[in-house]
Amino acid sequence: MRPKIIKDVLISERAIQKKTQELGRKISKDYRGKELVIVAIMRGAMLFLADLVRHISVPAAIDFMFVTSYKKASKSSGAIRIIKDLKEDIEDKYVLIVEDIVDTGLTFSYLKKYLKAHNPKGIKICTLLDKPSRRLVRVKPNYVGFTIPDEFVVGYGLDYLELYRNLPYIATLTDKAKGRLKGNF
């Protein structure tokens, strides 16, 4: 049974599985012969990462970063804070950032600058979802699962007030549930 906060399933479990396979195959082709470090941005990317890497056939180190943004306090300031940093050395390696969603683009743009300072050979981003209509900075993800409209979504790693990350699909919220988000997003 679907939780009460859900309005519609926007992207089904099946569609996500098909897409992760497609993306994994493409990434495997593009990174053949390159030293790859996958950097997953937590907590949102956890389910996507786990499914995606199963379809990546080239050797890859997997690392995690935990970040938070202060979007709530001030929409445009976009201050990002690193809670947990990289463990792997990325110098002279190819970094692929794995994100749940690129929304304003502030997180991606911050991370790109931050990781660049560690002198990798290249930095690209693979995001499950892209919400280009909400950009505050000009960034373009290299691999995109699904482009979605300006709508708050939950499930498959994305939370609603820290809950529902475990839903196997991506869904939209009822108006009532959206109302409870005000001031939190």
Amino acid at 91: E
Which residue's CB is nearer to ligand 5GP, number 93 or number 131? 131
CA distances from 81 to 63, 95, 149 (A): 17, 20, 27
Contact between 44 and ligand 5GP by CB under 6 A: the answer reads yes
Q: How far apart are the C-alpha atoms of 101 and 36, rounded to whole Å?
A: 21
**Contact with ligand 5GP (CB under 6 A): which of 97, 102, 125, 167?**
102
Applying CB under 6 A, does 170 fall inside the site for ligand 5GP? no
Question: Choosing from 85, 103, 130, 150, which is the catalytic residue?
Answer: 103
Burial of 4 (0-12, 13-18, 19+ CB in 10 A): exposed
According to the binding rule CB under 6 A, does residue 69 interact with ligand 5GP? yes
What is the DSSP-derived secondary structure letter of residue 174?
P
Of 39, 46, 19, 22, the residue nearest 167 (C-alpha): 46
Q: Is 145 in the site for ligand 5GP (CB under 6 A)?
A: no
Scanning 16-24, 84-92, 148-156, 174-182 for contacts with ligand 5GP by CB under 6 A, the matching segment is 148-156
13 belongs to the binding site for ligand 5GP (CB under 6 A): no
> Encoding tokens for residue 97?
């950032």
Which of 100, 126, 173, 177: binder of ligand 5GP (CB under 6 A)?
Answer: 100
- Which residues sit at the interface with ligand 5GP, rule CB under 6 A? 44, 69, 99-108, 152-154, 158-159
